[in-house]
Structure 1
Amino acid sequence: MKKGKATIHDIAEKLNTTASTVSRALNNNPRISDATKKQVLKMAKQLNYQPNNIASALRSGKSKLIGVVVPTANRNFFSSVVRGIEEIANNLNYKVIISQSYEEYDKEVDTIETLLSARVDGIIASIGKNTENFEHFQKVLDKGIPLVLFDRITDHLEVSQVVIDDYYGAYQTVQHLIKQGCKRIVHFTSPKKINIYKERLRGYEDALKENGIPFDPLLIEESNMQLEDGRQSMQHILDKKIHFDAVFSASDYAVMGAIQVLKEHHVRIPQDVKLAGFGNEPFTTFSDPSITTVDQKSIPMGRVTAETFFDLLKSGTNSVPQKTVLKPELIIRQSSQSPEEYKTLNFDQNDLTNSSY
């Protein structure tokens, strides 16, 4: 046999049969006897045969592959969403190809092109922070390939979407802080023009307004919302000597950075300053103090996103785009409790949501 990857023709030659018979046997065609199937599978294993998924997709029109694009896979939120997607996809004999954009626009464009070249049956994606041009996603739609966006979406595309109610999550969190007696609430947000941060800022503003608390732009800190950004934002507030009694961060990572800086300055949490984040990252349960946060229902979001995708795959791309909005859950922990409640707080096992993945 010639060197290189084994093909169905190589298997056919070894078994003195036709390539079409080998192909049918590998695809479990009922027209092929069990004895022949066993021979073909045995020889395929001996020759280390690997199926050509692209060629198969060209023949059948289905690759049984779904491309999933996330900004980063090392965040609990995105990895949990992927877990939910895979639970549904694997039950339907579909495989998931996971790609990361690393928040880079060019990388996101290249990833979409690669997935299209791989003949995936459709694409599920969460848009990167730096994406403002959506032509690469429009190309997917123009080709008639199913596309579903989750979490980070855009109004510039006629596409099915699955999100949580970011506005409601932020609104409920700020309402909670106000009920704890807070009136000067710092908000960490992002300058990036993506939906989640705009909606969380809107929820923050409306909660203040409904409680007669004036909006103060000096309490708004913009950054990329990573841990170090949270440290810098908190230090900036302290350096400006602005009076504040709470921090609501649109990211758990940034609020963790704020906690580090406050501790370095001997500020007591929650007695002097109360804090809350967004995302329910695993470390929020185990930090000291544990962090009040908003659970984004990431695994359910993945399942609903996959179900939306398969409904679209079944009905065709002419179906009307659907937007599904999931309700988040505010999880109250030590970082925002009043001193009295802080002393008597009991942990609930539900606080461990998504932390096992």
Structure 2
Amino acid sequence: MQSKPTTIKEIARILNISPSSVSRGLHDHPSIGAVTREKIKQLAKSLNYEPNNAAILFQKGKTYTIGVILPELSEHFFSIAISAIEDEAIKKNYTVIFAQSHDNYEQEVKLVEKMKNQRVDGLLVSISKGTSKFDHFEKLNSFNIPVVFFDRIPPFKNVHYVACSLESATIKAVNYLLKKGHRSIGMINGPSTLYASEERKDGYMQAITFNRLKFDPSLVVNCDLTEEGTIDAANQFLNHKRKPTAIVAFNDYVALFLIKYFKKLNVINDFDIVSYANLPIISYLDNSPVASVEQYPYLQGQKAANILLDLIHSPNSENQAYYNTIVESDLIVNEVKE
């Protein structure tokens, strides 16, 4: 059975000196004589003493750990963002703790509390699709734990965030479809609780009205981002009196659900689909979206991590400006369907 790790108190007891003298001796403090310092180091080595880094960091008031809460680690977008966050954290000698909300608000609240109890120095968050209250994040202010949101962000400006320009991205997407000759364009949007859904809808409305077309609110359908929710939205379009010939999908996963369903019904060639995220897999599909919005997850993760690390190392200030960083998107056009 493995014995307990040797402590400074144990070394002090054997040498009959104080624990503070042992600590100073291990750190070559000049107040400890050379002979005593050597005795301390030799005994520590023979007993396989390892410094308690957690205790040392706790005394310094930092753990050099940051927390990250995401909806799903398995999503390609977030896996790329994670790589960027880890790359930036390692440069500053930080450890990263990852957790998944599984797009559940209650789980997100619990994870924020756990991250606080782990004494993380800061938190990066992409909120769940059900998050409409943010007091669990506001509570972290009293513990001096800064929070930076990215990708999925709260619907207000007095927070630190990094996000893609989804409104302008949607304008590009709809304009692209209009140039292809489509005049009835549907949108499968996300939950109304997500600010990203509002941005998509605003971009859609702007593009439609700018091109002197009448905005039809029934052509914008919210869904819960599941396959069942996507199928329900698809059926609403199939039964619509102005059945659309093109659809803007909330993301590539919704687009994949849509493509699968339309192929099953043998109507896939009746629609052009545009999506968001630009997953690598879509380029290998026989019936891929005609275009997808590139949201640059690595850049978002990189910028969010650097902002958080700056906040951790900056002195607290009541008048500190909020970092509101927008990453410009690009519409990536795939090959035209035969």
**TM above 0.5:** yes
Would the alpha carbon gap of residues 263 and 316 (structure 1) be closer, same or farther in structure 2, given more than 3 Å must change? same
Indicate the residue corresponding to 2:286 in structure 1: 288
State the Cα deviation string for residues 131-165 of structure 1 (Å, max 9, x = none): 22211111112322221111122245732111110
Distance across 1 between alignment mates of 2:67 and 2:39: 36
**Which structure has the bigger radius of gyration?**
2
* Alignment partners' CA distance in 2, 1:76 and 1:157: 27
Bigger shift: residues 307-316 or 83-92: 307-316
- 3-state DSSP of counterpart to 2:149: strand
CA distance in 1, matches of 2:167, 2:75: 22
Q: Which residue of 1 aligns with 2:303?
A: 304
RMSD over aligned Cα atoms: 3.0
Residues 157 and 108 of structure 1: CA distance in aligned 2, closer, same or farther (over 3 Å):
farther
* 1:154 alignment partner, SS class: coil
Q: Which residue of 2 aligns with 1:84?
A: 84
Equivalent pair of 1:67/1:96 in contact (CA under 8 Å): yes
**AA matched with 1:293:** S
Q: Report the CA distance between 1:111 and its aligned residue.
A: 1.0
Residues 243 and 13 of structure 1, relative CA distance in 2, 3 Å threshold:
same
Equivalence map 1:227-266=2 (5 Å): 227-240=227-240, 242-266=242-266
Structure 1 CA distance for aligned equivalents of residues 101 and 326 of structure 2: 24
Closer/same/farther in 2, CA of residues 7 and 39 from structure 1, 3 Å limit: closer
Q: Which runs of 5+ in 2 are unaligned?
A: none
Q: Is the 8 A contact 1:186 1:248 kept in 2?
A: yes
Q: Distance in 1 between matches of 2:158 and 2:42?
A: 48
1:355 maps to what in 2? none
Tell me the distance in 1 between the aligned counterparts of 2:128 and 2:146.
Answer: 19
Q: Deviations over 1:158-199 (max 9, x none)?
A: 321111101011111111111111111110012332211110
**TM-score, scaled to structure 2:** 0.86
Contact 1:227–1:255 at 8 Å: present in 2 too?
no
Q: What letter corresponds to residue 123 of structure 2 in structure 1?
A: I
TM-score (norm 1): 0.81
Q: Could you tell me how far 1:89 is from its partner in structure 2?
A: 0.6
Aligned residues of 1:69 and 1:101 also touching (Cα < 8 A): yes
Q: Which residue of structure 1 aligns with residue 333 of structure 2?
A: 332
Contact 2:151 2:162 in 1 (8 A): yes
Structure 1 equivalent of residue 63 of structure 2: 63
Distance 1:73 1:38 in 2: 46
Distance 2:228 2:253 in 1: 8
* Cα distance in 1 for residues equivalent to 2:283 and 2:23: 52
Equivalent-residue separation in structure 1 for 2:146 and 2:46 (angstroms):
37
SS class of match (2:158): coil
1:137 equivalent in structure 2: 137
Aligned residues: 328
1:25 shift after superposition: 9.1
**Amino acid paired to 1:324:** T
Structure 1 regions of 5+ residues with no counterpart? 344-357
Corresponding residue for 1:204?
Answer: 204
Q: Aligned partners of 2:221 and 2:104: how far apart in 1?
A: 23
Shift of 1:34: 10
| 1:1-357 mapped onto 2 (5 Å cutoff) | 5-9=4-8, 12=11, 29=27, 40=44, 43-44=47-48, 51=52, 53=54, 55-155=55-155, 158-240=158-240, 242-269=242-269, 272-291=270-289, 292-318=291-317, 319-334=320-335, 337=336, 342=337
Q: Deviations over 1:111-143 (max 9, x none)?
A: 111111111111111111112221111111232
Percent identity reads 29
> How many Å separate the matches in 2 of 1:261 and 1:74?
23
- CA displacement at 1:240 relative to structure 2: 4.1
Task: Give the whole-Å Cα distance in 1 for the aligned partners of 2:326 and 2:38.
Answer: 49
Aligned CA distance change for structure 1 residues 39 and 183 (closer, same or farther; 3 Å): farther
